[in-house]
Amino acid sequence: MSRDFQGKVYRYLLSVQERKGAGYLVLLDPDRLRPEEALEVGQACEEGGADALLVGSSLLLGDTLDQVVCALKEAVRIPVILFPGGADQLSADADAVLFLSLISGRNPELLIGQQVRAAPRIRAFGLEPISTAYILVEGGALTTVEYISNTRPIPRDKVDVAMAHALAAEYLGMRMVYLEAGSGARLSVSEEMVREVTGYIRLPVIVGGGIRDPETARRKVEAGASFVVTGNVLEDGTITPGRVRAFAEAVHGGER
């Protein structure tokens, strides 16, 4: 049983950032991916240049999480990392879990409640926890995560508020910061906010939500993002190596 708080997956992510300038993560929703499709989807993501796979959702309707994770693990050599919406979204077969705290909100259940419930299971499963400050940013539309979490996002123009939250995360000992506009966001996190936050803290910064084309992904990297996440934009059509590669090349080729 592993209790490595700076384990091999976290070190791998840092090495991706160092070698490539930034990393590209593909988010897969278990409710939108049948287990029998996971083999092909996983292979397409890896062949296209994705550096890791995130698996999770704000709300799970089905019970196929374990099956999807197992199928992805059989298909790929890159890490499969859980991106859980709650303590019930854990699978012992994953490589690691983003141990999220929704620090932009004031809902104690998502600041510490779910984490307390999840921690013993993570330990029992031997999952590598990657402590991550989850910061929800207004994206121009009501998103699932905003509705389900019952929290208000940081306004897009309140860059200083995002900076202060990110710095608090660093001082609390978290290992990553995730700036999230949310699934279904009309607007991605602004380059100004990404630039100011990444210049203010020393932690790797993940940016996701509302990123619909490779050019937008590249701009996040040029603004300082360590990792860029896309999800729905790929799920809206067939996930092919070519579609993934377009994003991967934009992320890996972005000048910081």
Answer whether residue 1 is part of any domain: no
Q: Is a pLDDT exceeding 90 seen at residue 117?
A: yes
Q: Is a pLDDT exceeding 60 seen at residue 1?
A: no
Q: How far apart are the first and last CA of the chain?
A: 38
Angle, in degrees to the nearest 10, between helices 35-48 and 241-253? 40
Answer whether residue 3 is part of any domain: no
pLDDT for the residue numbered 248: 98
Answer whether residue 128 is part of any domain: yes
Answer whether residue 159 is part of any domain: yes
Read off the pLDDT of residues 154-190 as tens digits, 9 standing for 90 and up.
Answer: 999 999 999 999 999 999 999 999 999 998 899 999 9
Read off the pLDDT of residues 97-114 as tens digits, 9 standing for 90 and up.
Answer: 999 999 999 999 999 999
pLDDT for the residue numbered 143: 93
Answer whether residue 229 is part of any domain: yes
Q: Which one-letter amino acid corresponds to residue 141?
A: A
pLDDT (average), residues 144-148: 93
Domain span holding position 229:
8-253
pLDDT (average), residues 225-254: 88
pLDDT for the residue numbered 2: 44
Q: For residue 223, what is the DSSP state?
A: T
pLDDT band at 237 (very low <50, low <70, confident <90, very high): low
Q: Which two tokens stand for residue 93?
A: 């077969």
Q: Is a pLDDT exceeding 90 seen at residue 28?
A: yes
pLDDT band at 232 (very low <50, low <70, confident <90, very high): confident
Question: CB-hemisphere CA count at 13 Å for 174?
Answer: 26
Question: What does each C-alpha distance from 70 to 74, 91, 108, 234 come to in angstroms?
Answer: 6, 9, 32, 21
Strands 23-28 and 176-180: unpaired
| Choice among 91-105, 177-191, 211-225, 237-251 with the minimum mean pLDDT | 237-251
Answer whether residue 39 is part of any domain: yes
Nearest CA to 104 out of 26, 27, 182, 175 is that of: 182
pLDDT for the residue numbered 49: 97
Q: Is a pLDDT exceeding 80 seen at residue 132?
A: yes
Q: Is a pLDDT exceeding 50 seen at residue 152?
A: yes
Q: Is a pLDDT exceeding 90 seen at residue 65?
A: yes
Which H or E run includes 101? strand 96-102
Quote the CA–CA distance of 199 and 181 in Å, as a whole number. 19
pLDDT for the residue numbered 233: 75
Total domain count, the chain:
1
**Contact (Cβ atoms closer than 8 angstroms) between residue 252 and residue 244:** no
The model carries a pTM of: 0.95
| Choice among 18-22, 35-39, 97-101, 104-108 with the minimum mean pLDDT | 35-39
Percent of the chain with pLDDT over 70: 96
Quote the CA–CA distance of 111 and 114 in Å, as a whole number. 8
pLDDT band at 127 (very low <50, low <70, confident <90, very high): very high
Answer whether residue 2 is part of any domain: no
Angle, in degrees to the nearest 10, between helices 214-222 and 191-200? 30
Answer whether residue 97 is part of any domain: yes
* Residue 112 CB coordination number (10 Å): 11
pLDDT for the residue numbered 5: 58
Domain CATH number, residue 249 = 3.20.20.390
